[in-house]
Amino acid sequence: MNGYVIIADTDGNIVWYQDPRDDTGRTDAVIGGLGLTRPDKHILLLDSKDTLLEYNLDGDVLQKLERDAGDFDDADGVRRFVHHDLKREGDHTYVITAREYDYTDVNDCDGDGDVSEALTYILDGVMVFDHTTDPWTPVPSLEWSLSDIYDPSDCTGPQPPSCSATLWSSEGMTGCDWAHANSIWTDSDGTWQLSFKDQDKLINVDEATGGLVWELAGDGVSGDLLLDTSASIADPEFDNQHHAWRTATPNHIMLYDNNVTGAADPRALELSLSPAAGVYAVIADWPTPPLEPRGDCNSKGSAFDMLPSGHVVATCAPSGIIREFEPAGAEVWKLTLGCPDTTLTPSGNLYRAMPFNFGP
């Protein structure tokens, strides 16, 4: 298995390509997070759950942070893994992390009758790196964990033995992957937003205090913000979502709904939030038909509002197809992207498609 970063033009020509193996010395690369910096047009990526790389378009490595070097150690001395997503905001880089925590099973969450045993949970977190003094030698400025605001031993969320550490078994972690965070987005109001795939949930966190601002659940009835059905589309529920981010319109969120349990195709969704009123609405969707016969998108996909046109770019990962939609829903362009060595084919995975201005 190997992952690549590719920039292609709208005609399908590959105009830029990067293989992280050249800079990690590994025989494979598993890209678990991808970001862009503007206006310098650098590529940020997370490789194999333990390395952060920053490239310019000449292919030079401008920054490299590694778990084995202790760059992701937390205050407890635990070497966190990094995964799924990262975000550059000004002079700071935000990275999703994960580590194990042990809790006494006082509420018998696993149902075996033993309230004195220890249960192990894999909890996600965020590490923030400050580039203010030296852009290429960032220093950790903040570490945060779901354990700061949640106690999984209260039996909420996924619980053993039904939840597993499938994503983490190759890294030696065996606990319950409680949330499976898969995207982070920062906002100008000093908050960040995380997506929990395994709980069909989005949360908003105050960076200054580390406190929870709100929760929003795909079923519309489980979070602090409840679904306003009167202002929503006909099929507003979402699940196994990916790539939740804030658009240029205040209090609007785009996400990719893998829709594993629903009847509709996987799709990009736009949400409008009214936190003061405690409600949200799902105001638009753009279905992305997966491979035929119909199947889900392997719980992977991405959605991006392509400014300034307002068009939406979305991909169902296993389809290998990037699609562009008008705001009203009509598909205006699509691209099936593959590599000359056939490593990436229509049967491969395009984990994230992001509009990118390659010109000056």
Rounded Cα distance between 215 and 223, Å, is 5
Residue 3 lies in a domain: no
239 with 348, same domain: the answer is yes
Would 88 be classed as within a structural domain? yes
DSSP string, 191-214: EEEEEEGGGTEEEEEETTT--EEE
**Domain endpoint, select from 154, 179, 204:** 179
Answer yes or no: is 7 within a domain. Answer: no
Residue 192 sits in the same domain as residue 141: no
- Return the CATH number at 240: 2.40.128.630
What's residue 63's pLDDT?
A: 93
Domain shared by 136 and 218, yes or no: no
Q: Are residues 336 and 207 in the same domain?
A: yes
Rounded to whole angstroms, the Cα distance separating 249 from 56 reads 29
Both 168 and 198 in a single domain?
A: no
Do 154 and 213 belong to one domain?
Answer: no
Domain end residue (candidates: 163, 179, 195): 179
Residues 220 and 99 in one domain: no
Tokens of 215: 């929760």
Q: Say if residue 149 is in the same domain as residue 243.
A: no
Sites in the chain below the pLDDT cut of 70: 1-2, 290-296, 338-348, 359-360
CB-based burial label for 16 (10 Å; 0-12, 13-18, 19+): middle
Please check whether residues 40 and 188 belong to one and the same domain. no
> Do residues 210 and 353 both lie within one domain?
yes
Boundaries of domain holding 100: 26-179
**Alpha carbon separation from 184 to 136, 144, 162, 187, 245 (Å, rounded):** 22, 13, 26, 10, 7
Q: 117 and 89: one domain?
A: yes
84 & 160 share domain: yes
**So what's the pLDDT on residue 191?**
96
Total domains, the chain: 2
Could you tell me if residue 2 is inside a domain?
no
Q: Of 150, 179, 208, which residue sits at a domain end? A: 179
Report pLDDT for 356: 82
Q: Measured in Å, how far apart are the chain's first and last C-alpha atoms?
A: 34
